[in-house]
Amino acid sequence: MDTLDLNRNWTEDEENQPIGRRIQRLSLHLTPVPRQLGNLQLRTLTCAARTKLNVDAKSLSVFMRGKHRDIQEKVFDFFNARPELQTPVEISMDDHRELCMRQLLALVRDAGVRPFKYVADEPTKYFAILEAVGSVDMSLGIKMGVQYSLWGGSVLNLGTKKHKVKYYDGIDNMEYPGCFAMTELHHGSNVQGLQTVATFDPITDEFVIDTPNDGAIKWWIGNAAVHGKFATVFAKLMLPTHNTKGVSDMGVHAFIVPIRDLKTHQTLPGIEIHDCGHKVGLNGVDNGALRFRSVRIPRDNLLNRFGDVSRDGKYTSSLPTINKRFAATLGELVGGRVGLAYSSVSVLKIAATIAIRYSLLRQQFGPPKQPEVSILDYQSQQHKLMPMLASTYAFHFATLHLVEKYSEMKKSHDEQLVGDVHALSAGLKAYVTSYTAKSLSICREACGGHGYAAVNRFGSLRNDHDIFQTFEGDNTVLLQQVAADLLKQYKEKFQGGTLAVTWNYLRESMNTYLSQPNPVTARWDSEDHLRDPKFQLDAFRYRTSRLLHSVAVRLNKHTKTLGNFGAWNRCLNHLLTLAESHIESVILARFIESVKSCPDASSRAALKLVCDLYALDRIWKDIGTYRNVDYVAPNKAKAIHKLAEYLSFQVRNIAGELIDAFDLPDHVTRAPIAMQSDAYSQYTQYVGF
C-alpha cells in the first residue's frame, strides 16, 4: 500500500476533490505546510519558532477594565479572605440558599459595599459590582440583582418620594429583603396579559390584591420562598364605576405588598407562599410562588410615578393611554436586561479563560521523537476557541457601551435615548446570552474529560447561566422587538422621519446597501482590503439592509391574505435573522470604535487583530448570503476563509496575554485545570492525592 506524503504540494484540482481536500486538512494538524493568500505567506509555526505581537497585558487590561476596577478588587479580596463564604463544589439547595444570604449580608455589612446607592446615581459602578459578585457565585449575583435592581429598582423607578423615604434605608441595609412579582404561571412574556388584580376599595382607602385563578399565581419569584419580606406585585388596577361593568381596568400597575412579618418572619394573612424547588441551576436563589387571597394594602402602596388614585377613587396620569403607561413602566425596568447582557459577558470571560488556559497547558501528541505539543496548536482547537475569544472582546466593548448609554439615559431622561437603550438592551441581551450559552458547551468539550469535572466549573456555569436566555425577556421575544423597531425605522426612512441613534446607518446608507453589488469590489481579495474596517462594516450592514428590505416586502405580501399576526408568524425566522444581523452590525461598529480609541499602540494592534478575526469569521459563517447576491465573488470568499484561519492562528499566538487582560485571578476562575501555575498539582490535590 502506498504511503501518504503529508508534505507534498497539493494542486488546485486535488484541493477541490472532496477526498483530497479532507486529507490535506487532516495533514495540517500534524505537519503544517506553507499556504498562500495573495501576497501573504501563511505559516503554521512550531512553538519555538513562532512570531507574535508584543502585547502588554497590563496596559490592555487597564483599557479593558475601566474606572471601577478598585471596587471589583475590593469584592474579590473580601471573599478570598473569607473561605467560609466561598461556595463549595458540593452543596445542598437549602445550604446554598442560606450561604447566599450570608454572602450578601456580609458584602453589605462587613465589607461595606452598598450597591443600592449606585442603582440610580452611578449605574456603571453598580454593574461593575454585579460583575464581580457574579464571578464569586452566580446565585449571589442574581440574589443581589433581585434585591437591588428589581425590588429596590422598582421602588426607585416606579415610586415617588414617599416610597423612597419609607423603604430606601431598609432595602439598602438588607433589613427589607424583597421580591419582584411579575411573572405568573400562565403569563411570562405577555406582561399585559397578567391576571392578578388590585381593586380599589374607596370605603377603607385600600387596594385588595387577589389571585383569581391558578394561572395567576406569581411564579419563579426570587427571594420569595425563604427570605423575602416585601414584594413589588404587578397587577391590573381595577377602579369601581357606576356603570353596568362595576369596575374599570386601568392596566397593569405595581404595588408594594408585605408578605412576611418583619419581626417573626411569619407569612402574613391572605398570603400563600410555596417553594418552586430544585432548579437546573442558581439553586442559591430561593424562587417561590405567591397567591393572594383578598390581601389589603394601603392606597399609598401603589407605586404611582405614572398613575395615581385619589382618596375618592379618581385616576390621574400624565400619560393618556394604558399602552403608554405600560411602555413607560417597562421602560424603567430595562436595567435588568442591561445587567444580564453585561453579566453574560463576564461568564463568557471566565469560561474562555479556563478553556484557553487549559488548552495552552495541556499537551497531546506531536511529531515523532519530539515533545508533545499544546492542544491549542491544533487548528481544530483554534477553530473552537479563537473566534470565541474574539467575540468575547467584541461583546465586552458592546455591553460596556450599553451600560454607559443606560447611565446617560438615567441622568438625562431623553426620550430618544430611552428608546435607543430599550432596543439595544433587548438585542444585546438576547444575542450575547444565546452565544454564551452555546459557548459554555464548546468550552466544556474543548477541555475533554477534565472539563466534565464539577470542580472545573463548566457544569455550574452552564446550568446557572442557562436561564439568562429566558428571564428579563425571552430571547426570541426580545429579538422580535428588535425586528419590529427596525421595521418601524425602515418605514420612517421612506416617510422622511428621523431615526434613532442605533439605526443611523439605515438613514445614512440605506440606498447604497440596497443597490446592486459592485462587480469590481466583489472580487477584491487583498489582505489590506479584507482587513479594512470599512469593508467589514459595509458587509455587515449590507446584509442587514437586504434582510430588512426583503422581510418588509414579504410582510406586505402576506398581510393581504393572512392579516398582521399571520404574516408576522409566517416571516418569523426571517425576522429573527434580521434582528441578529443588526445586532452584529452594532457590535462590530462598537468594536471598531474601541480599537481606534485605545491609547496604547501594542494594545491597539492586538485589538485590531482580534476585531478583524471577529468580523471575517462572522462574514465567513454567513458566506452563502453574500455569495447568493454576488456581494462576494468566489475568489474573495476563498480569501476571506483563508485569512480568517490565519488570523485565528495569530490570535492563538497572543491568547495567553488576551485572557490575562481580563484580569481574573485564580480564586475567581477557581478551576484547577486553569491555574496559572502548577495546574496538575492543584487538580490532584483536589481529588485526594
The answer to whether 570 and 376 have CB atoms below 8 angstroms apart is: no
Residue 331 has a pLDDT of 76
**Whole-angstrom Cα distance, residue 343 to residue 412?**
25
Residue 564, CB half-sphere, CA atoms under 13 Å: how many?
Answer: 1
| Pairwise CA distance, residues 488 & 670, whole Å | 46
pLDDT tens digits for range 79-109: 999 999 999 999 999 999 999 999 999 999 9
Chain centroid, CA 344 distance in Å: 4
* 3-state SS track over 174-242: CCCCEEEECCECCCCCCHHHCCCEEEEECCCCEEEEECCCHHHCEEEECCCCCCCCEEEEEEEEEEECC
Instruction: Write out the catalytic residue numbers.
Output: 472
pLDDT, block means (10 residues), the chain with 689 residues: 44 49 43 38 37 84 88 94 93 97 97 94 94 94 96 95 97 97 88 93 97 96 97 96 82 96 97 97 97 98 95 91 83 87 96 94 88 92 97 97 92 84 95 98 94 91 96 93 90 56 56 68 92 95 91 91 94 96 97 96 96 98 92 95 96 94 84 68 63
Q: Which amino acid is at 437?
A: A
pLDDT score recorded for residue 515: 67
Q: Which amino acid is at 349?
A: K
Phi/psi of residue 275, nearest 5 degrees: -85, 130
Measured between alpha carbons, how far is 131 from 143 in angstroms, rounded to an integer?
13
Asked if 278 and 81 touch (Cβ cutoff 8 Å), the reply is: no
Cβ 291 vs Cβ 211: under 8 Å:
yes
Distances (CA, A) of 173 to 112, 115, 227, 320, 417: 10, 10, 14, 38, 32
Phi, psi (rounded to 5 degrees) for 374: -60, 140
Q: Residues for the chain: how many in total?
A: 689
Number of H helices, E strands in the chain: 26, 13
Res 665: pLDDT: 81
The whole-angstrom separation of Cα 63 and Cα 84 is: 34
